[in-house]
Amino acid sequence: MTPFPFSSFKTPSSPLPSPFFSSFPLSPSLFPYSWRSTITLSFLLLLFFLPFCPSSLASSPSQAALDALQKRIGYTFKSPGLLRRAVTHPSYSRDNYRPLGVLGLHAVRAVVSLRALAADPDASPGDLARRVADDTDGDACAADGLGLRLQALVRVAARTNASAPVVLCGAFRAVLGAVALDAGDVDACGDVFRRVHARGVGRGGAVSAAW
């Protein structure tokens, strides 16, 4: 069999014409956006979405700040992550303080109710409810949160006011809930509440008769 004469095969000096690509010439008009336009568009998008992003630099508490908070409340956490979650607002993360706030609210209401009934076993249901509300309602717990300077610690989104009463109240209740969960009982939560609230840290010395 005679071998194929590869030496006789010649590569064309110019590429074969392509009817497809020749019908779609690459023209600068097909790419009207320059690199300057790309940078400008990216900058505008950043300005639009920045307010919706968590302000981590301004609102992420340092370990030193959390240590100072533990000194103010008189309790040292075995699981510091609970305290960090207690100062995380729902606008900042899904892993936020709401569940701890529910626990803290019910724990402190139980503690206040117990002390109020111990001080006055004949208190009427209405009187007991009033005493509990006086110590644990929104205004009282927001004032306690302000006294602990939680507005400087709570992590919120850029458009959320960390000094708003509802934010301070939620954070304070969450701190109490974190204490109860970390300690495994409500007694430690009650001790922290008594130190913060009964000493007038957030209410200028106004103390309920239950304390």
Is 50 exceeded by the pLDDT of residue 201? no
Residue 9 has a pLDDT of: 47
Q: For residue 120, give Cα distances in angstroms to 113, 115, 134, 199, 209.
A: 10, 9, 16, 21, 10
Side chain identity at 127, as an amino acid letter? Answer: D
Residue 68 has a pLDDT of: 94
Please choose, from the candidates 75, 113, 85, 67, the residue with its C-alpha nearest in 3D space to the C-alpha of residue 189.
75
- Which residues does 62 contact at the CB level (< 8 Å), separation at least 6? none
More confident residue, 150 or 16: 150
Could you give the 3-state DSSP secondary structure of residue 90? coil
Residue 24 has a pLDDT of: 45
Residue 15 has a pLDDT of: 52
Query: How large is the average pLDDT for residues 61-74?
Result: 91
Q: Which CATH number fits domain 62-198: 1.10.260.40, 1.10.10.10, 1.10.1520.10, 3.40.50.410?
A: 1.10.1520.10
**pLDDT classification of 139: cutoffs 50, 70, 90:** confident
